[in-house]
Every structure is written in structure tokens, then in C-alpha cells.
Structure 1
Amino acid sequence: MSSLVYGGFWLRVAAALIDSVLMLILLSPLVRLIYVDEQWVGAPPHFSFAELLLNYLLPALVVIVFWIAKSATPGKMALKLTIVDANTGGKPSTKQFIVRYLGYYVSTIPLCLGLLWVAFDERKQGWHDKLSGTLVVRNTAPNTVEFEQQPPD
């Protein structure tokens, strides 16, 4: 596993920004449907099931499904990053992905220190990575193309 190249802090920040913009694009039409115009102009906030769904459940579902299917979110894929098991370098389990997502809350609650930890950790792991036993690595393998061999003329 010594050939792994860890995904660094700024690369992961860029991937998170890409994911945030995509999530905003995905959720904006739904938010507009749920909230009436009065709520946009300063009506007192209220908490509803729709808000729980839009703010917490749907984003969690989208991210975890991408992780399970591709071991990455669209932002990580765009920047050639992959989430791997820290011990084997292989694909993490569904349980690891769920723990990793929940670990984001642990990482952000104390002033985002668990996310900033990526910048200082030798394996570039945030607290959510350490809790779930995962790493974010760069896909450094060159794209290879295999050609069919033509019989000599």
C-alpha cells in the first residue's frame, strides 16, 4: 500500500466545494417548492419534516449512495480522488461509509477541527476518516488503452 498517494487538504476542500454546488443545484428546486414566498422574506422559522428531509436525510442518502457505488462523490471523482479502506486499500464497507458520514458531525462540532486535521495528519485523515478506518487517495494510475493485435499482412 506504499504506492498510495493521499488526497491532501486543499484538494479535498475543492472536492467538497464542487459537491456543495451540485447539492445546491439539486436541492434548490425542492426548497422552492416546499417554502412559500412568505418564508423567504423573514417569517419566523419553523422545523418540519420537509426541512429534516432536505437538510439532513436527502443529502446523507445522496452522499452515501455515491460512496457505495463509486467510492467517491462527484467532486472527488472530478478531482480523481477515491475513498479506500485504510488497512487494505480496497473498497470500504457500507458500515464504514455510514460511520464516515456520521463522523462528519463529530469532525465539525468542535470548530471544524476534525476537518482541519487533514492538513496536519501524515496520512491526510480527518477525524471522520479515522473513526471509519478510511483514507482518501489520489487515482494516480495512468489511463491505459489496450489495442487488438492485428495479424501481420
Structure 2
Amino acid sequence: MESDEYEYSGFWVRAGATIIDTILLLLITTPIIVTVYGWSYFTDESYGIIAGPADFLISWVLPAIAVIAFWMLKQATPGKMAISSKIVDATTGNPASTAQLIGRYFAYFVSAIPLCLGIIWVAFDKRKQGWHDKLAGTVVIKKTKTGPEPVKFRNT
């Protein structure tokens, strides 16, 4: 992989990718949750953080498996694919290992807990790494020239 063909994916494009991924996950998990618990799942305060074993599987386990599987197979979630980005090992540029990807997923919680500072860190870091990237030894990159064809005019 030629390093001059790639650049680090910044905060705003990654935020856009996260929005895409969140919408897709909600489109998949919401109908399942409603089928199991009904619409009261969203309004009944007695459910607490986790409404039961099915909720845990649908809301926590299924997304974790889906995200890690996409990272392993495609080096990106659908949102990252939409912005032409991929997750690679920060040292070599090769695909991240399974251990790195699993660690990266759980490191998201570390990044999010203190007011999402670890995620916002992407905006200020030289290599655009969030804390989850730093902990896992990964970076998110994209090809440098991913925009549309440049404008060309005929000389008249």
C-alpha cells in the first residue's frame, strides 16, 4: 500500500459514517425489539437499561457481532464504506488483526464514557486517531483523490 495514496479520515466524515451506521442498526434492531417487547419498550421506565435477555442480545450482542464482522471482512462498516474509508493497523498499514478489532470495539466504551472526549479527540489528533484507535493500534484512512472527476473545459 502506497502511503501517499491515502490520508487520515477526519472527524466530520467519520461522524457522517457513524450516523449512517446508527441508522442502519436502528432499522434492523428496532423492528425486532418492538416484536419482542412492543412499543412500550421505548416509554416504560420500568425496563431500565436492559429490558431482559432478548434486549441484551438485540441491542448489545448483535451490533457488536455485526460491527466486528464488517471490520474483519471489509475493514469498514457500511458507513465507513460510504465515505471510502477503512481501518488498518497504525504501524504497518495492513489490515488490523482480529484482536485489534475486538479491542477497538470495546475501547469505544472507554472513548465514550468521559463525555465522548475520546471520540472527539479525532478532531485534534495529528493522525486523526480517537482513543479507541490509539488503544487498538489502528488508524482510519481513505484514498486521497476520492472526489468527482475534475472539471475540464475545451480550449476555445
TM-score strictly above 0.5: yes
- Count of matched residue pairs: 142
Work out which of the residue numbers 30, 33, 36 in structure 2 matches 1:31: 33
Aligned to 1:11: 13
Deviation at 1:40, TM superposition (A): 4.8
8 Å CA contact 2:14, 2:80 repeated in 1: yes
Q: Does 1:126 align with 2:130?
A: yes
Mark the runs of 5 or more structure 1 residues left unpaired by the alignment: 143-153
C-alpha distance in 2 between matches for 1:128 and 1:19:
17
Identity of aligned residues (%): 49
Partner SS, residue 111 of structure 1 = coil
C-alpha distance in 1 between matches for 2:46 and 2:137:
42
Deviation at 1:39, TM superposition (A): 4.2
Work out which of the residue numbers 56, 62, 86 in structure 2 matches 1:58: 62
Letter in 2 for 1:59: P
Q: Does 1:71 align with 2:75?
A: yes
8 Å CA contact 1:15, 1:79 repeated in 2: yes
Regions of 4+ moved over 2 Å: 36-43, 139-142
- TM-score calculated relative to the size of structure 1: 0.86
8 Å CA contact 1:82, 1:139 repeated in 2: no
Deviation at 1:36, TM superposition (A): 3.1
Deviation at 1:140, TM superposition (A): 3.4
Of 49-58 and 34-43, deviating more is 34-43
8 Å CA contact 1:108, 1:115 repeated in 2: yes
Letter in 2 for 1:130: K
Partner SS, residue 90 of structure 1 = coil
8 Å CA contact 1:7, 1:81 repeated in 2: yes
Mark the runs of 5 or more structure 2 residues left unpaired by the alignment: 147-156
Deviation at 1:37, TM superposition (A): 4.8
